[in-house]
A and B are shown apart, each in its own frame.
Chain A
Amino acid sequence: MTPVLAVSDVHKSFGGIKAVDGVSFHVNEGEILGLIGPNGCGKSTLFNCILGQLVPSSGEVKVDGRITTGMRPCDINRLGVSRTFQLLQVFPKLSVRENLILAGQEHRGNMLSRLFGASDAGVGAEADKLIAFFKLDHLAHEQAGGLSYGQQKLLDAAMAFIAGPRLVLLDEPAGGVNLTMLGDLKDRLFAVNRELGVTLVVIEHNMEFVMSLCSRVVVMAEGRVLAVGAPDEVRANPAVIEAYLGH
């Protein structure tokens, strides 16, 4: 079966610095894949290469068997791949509901229907459901910029899911989230994965979070893949332990 995401020998250099040095792995449908590694090992750069924010210096990325290397982020997104960012990126001046409608509107209809059709582009109902699911009801019409960090994180995640994606890449979703909400977050990610069949790839530093959430883990170090396997295998791998030594 075609993997949902196939990364083949991707390289990315900035001037003389090799941020990603020949990374290959694949993600099967329905998996929750973890991507871990010490700071600066190239995880975020790799994400950016997969999702179109950066163009790989060489190598190939395929989504559902379709080559997406070099495509613009908006086009990749329309294929059913969405992401969250490490640094929170909601639209502060728009309300929570507006943020969600924005995230979903480009996946319905076309430019013309968006100009002459409904103001919410037909995504209003979905937005309301997600607001309820992430328990942001009372904040639906508040400006996103006024929310607390944790609430913005939830909104960010909601925005990634509203368009009904096949694959979601989450860049440090647990960063800065307090313990109480961490459990909720994990639960919701599990739920989305199991009941909606959304494949997830998660970059994380929180080891406990990753190991309990992911079915498979890719470990990177210095721009290369160090190990791939189930969480327990990887945790016991001596090379992995050494890469993390002192981090």
Chain B
Amino acid sequence: MSATFKWLRIVLGVAIVAALILVPMTLNRYGLYILSQWCVMTIAAMGLNLTLGYAGQISLAQGAFVGIGAYSGAILVTSGYPLILALVVAILLCFAIGWLLGYPALRVQHHYLAFVTLAFSTLAFLLFRNEEWLTNGIYGISNITRPEIFGYRTNRPLPFYYVCLGSLAIVSLAVWWLIRSPWGRAFQALRENPVRALSLGVDTRHYTLMAFAIGSALGGIAGVLYAPLTQYVDPIPFGLTLSLDLLLMVIVGGAGFFFGPFVGAAIAVLLPEWLRFTEGYYLMLYALAVILLLIYSPTGILGIADRILTERRTKAASAMRAAAQSKLEQPNLEQSKLETVR
């Protein structure tokens, strides 16, 4: 990677972060709400990206996990507990449920996880709706107060937006670190070539399960933020539709790319606004656009960018190879004795 290119990326990154911090100060209540929503959805999509983009499994339950997080937040906060506690509960609960769902489903090939999560999604909705003693059923839980962070109250839109942005930053760093670690390497391996990965000692089943459980936990985190954002939680938003929306976010942005969820969530959150003039047709257009995008680039928008970059890299590598070829043909085996190996 050339030095100028790296520099450009850093400058761009700083500019975007600065914009995310400064520009919202000029936005109105609604704009801040949309941006906060984007932050929350990106967190959920990042979780799904771990499951789908890295471990290569379809989960149709991410919406349900967001729901579990939202209800954890709603129930605990309205009972007087701090949001942080809801965070811990949601993470543990979603991780555990993810693990329990994934363990049997992933023993078999056949994309069973997709169907198990589909079933769980329906089950979760039933639980949200029916267990009124806990969730208040279809009436929902309202008056969810926003948290106090280090003594600052975050009731107003702008401060709460910073809470969402900050959470997104923290989660992003955690996920970045995960991807950078040997676990991340194993995830990539099991996505690219599970047979080869297995033969190298990578326990694909274990890593896939972990990816799914962690991904589900991230869904829970998003949910915990969702509750004070909308300040009202009922079962309706957390059905299959949300799971499908999140799935499409990951796919459109680019499954398996770190910034895929950011792009996908932005499109999903902003699209209804842009396409408002199409009224009821916008979902159909969106579905059609997704299908066309998938046919052209199954790895989404970032996939298109990546393809362009890889082509340039391969050309560079070929050039290097041509230069290095002469070196390789020379018989200087004597130089690299085996002592260097051990």
Least Cβ distance of B312 to chain A in Å? 11
Q: Mark A106-146, 1 if CB is under 8 A from B, else 0.
A: 11000100111101110000000110110100110011011
Contact of A92 among B192, B202, B203 (CB under 8 A): B192
Which B residues are in CB contact (< 8 Å) with A207? none
Which A residues are in CB contact (< 8 Å) with B341? 129-130, 133, 196
Would B338 and A77 count as touching, CB distance under 8 A?
no
Would B181 and A119 count as touching, CB distance under 8 A?
yes
Instruction: Kindly name the residue among B192, B201, B204, B340 whose own CB sees the greatest number of chain A CB atoms within 10 A.
Output: B201
Would B313 and A74 count as touching, CB distance under 8 A?
no
Interface residues of A in 132-191 (CB under 8 A from B): 132-133, 135, 138-139, 142-143, 145-148, 151, 159, 163, 180, 184, 187, 191
* A102 with B189, Cβ < 8 A, contacts A91-B196, A133-B336, A195-B338 known: yes
A151, B192: Cα distance in complex, Å: 20
Would A93 and B188 count as touching, CB distance under 8 A?
yes
Which A residues are in CB contact (< 8 Å) with B188? 91, 93-94
Q: Indicate if A44 sits at the interface (CB-CB under 8 A).
A: no
Q: Indicate if B324 sits at the interface (CB-CB under 8 A).
A: yes
Q: What 6 pairs across the A-B complex have the smallest Cβ distances?
A: A106-B201, A146-B317, A114-B182, A77-B201, A73-B198, A89-B196
Would A106 and B192 count as touching, CB distance under 8 A?
no
* A115 with B201, Cβ < 8 A, contacts A130-B341, A148-B321, A184-B333 known: no
Would A119 and B328 count as touching, CB distance under 8 A?
no
Which residues of A are in contact with B by a Cβ distance under 8 Å?
51-53, 72-74, 77-78, 82-83, 85, 89-94, 98, 101-103, 105-107, 111, 114-117, 119-121, 129-130, 132-133, 135, 138-139, 142-143, 145-148, 151, 159, 163, 180, 184, 187, 191-192, 195-196
A191, B321: Cα distance in complex, Å: 26
- Please name 24 pairs of A and B residues whose Cβ atoms are closer than 8 Å in the assembled complex, sorted by A: A53-B195, A73-B198, A78-B201, A85-B199, A91-B196, A94-B189, A102-B189, A103-B200, A105-B186, A115-B181, A115-B183, A119-B181, A121-B182, A129-B341, A129-B342, A133-B341, A139-B320, A142-B313, A143-B317, A148-B321, A184-B333, A187-B333, A196-B341, A196-B342
Would A82 and B189 count as touching, CB distance under 8 A?
no
Least Cβ distance of A36 to chain B in Å? 22
Would B338 and A73 count as touching, CB distance under 8 A?
no
Contact of B201 among A74, A92, A116 (CB under 8 A): A74
**What residue in chain A is nearest B315 (Cβ atoms)?**
A146
Known contacts A129-B340, A146-B314; can you find 6 more A-B pairs with CB under 8 A?
Answer: A51-B199, A74-B199, A98-B185, A111-B183, A138-B327, A142-B313
Interface residues of B in 164-201 (CB under 8 A from A): 178, 180-183, 185-186, 188-189, 192-193, 195-201
Which A residues are in CB contact (< 8 Å) with B321? 139, 147-148, 151
Which A residues are in CB contact (< 8 Å) with B317? 139, 142-143, 146-147
Q: Give the interface size class of chain B.
A: 35 or more
Main secondary structure of the interface of B (DSSP, over half): helix
A72, B197: Cα distance in complex, Å: 12
Which A residues are in CB contact (< 8 Å) with B320? 138-139, 142
Least Cβ distance of A121 to chain B in Å? 4
A83, B197: Cα distance in complex, Å: 11
A78, B204: Cα distance in complex, Å: 13
Would B193 and A91 count as touching, CB distance under 8 A?
yes
Which A residues are in CB contact (< 8 Å) with B193? 89, 91
A191, B340: Cα distance in complex, Å: 12
Which B residues are in CB contact (< 8 Å) with A130? 341
Least Cβ distance of A241 to chain B in Å? 34
A72, B202: Cα distance in complex, Å: 10
Which B residues are in CB contact (< 8 Å) with A91? 188-189, 192-193, 196
Least Cβ distance of B306 to chain A in Å? 9
A221, B105: Cα distance in complex, Å: 40
* A74 with B198, Cβ < 8 A, contacts A92-B192, A119-B180, A142-B317 known: yes
Least Cβ distance of A236 to chain B in Å? 33
A121, B181: Cα distance in complex, Å: 8
Least Cβ distance of B249 to chain A in Å? 22
**What residue in chain A is nearest B328 (Cβ atoms)?**
A135
Least Cβ distance of A157 to chain B in Å? 13
Would B342 and A163 count as touching, CB distance under 8 A?
no
A77, B204: Cα distance in complex, Å: 13
Instruction: Kindly name the residue among A102, A114, A133 whose own CB sees the greatest number of chain B CB atoms within 10 A.
Output: A102
A82, B200: Cα distance in complex, Å: 7
Which A residues are in CB contact (< 8 Å) with B153? none
Would A74 and B204 count as touching, CB distance under 8 A?
yes
Would B336 and A132 count as touching, CB distance under 8 A?
yes
Q: Indicate if B329 sits at the interface (CB-CB under 8 A).
A: yes
Q: Indicate if B29 sits at the interface (CB-CB under 8 A).
A: no
Which B residues are in CB contact (< 8 Å) with A83? 199
Which B residues are in CB contact (< 8 Å) with A90? 196
Least Cβ distance of A149 to chain B in Å? 11
Which B residues are in CB contact (< 8 Å) with A187? 333
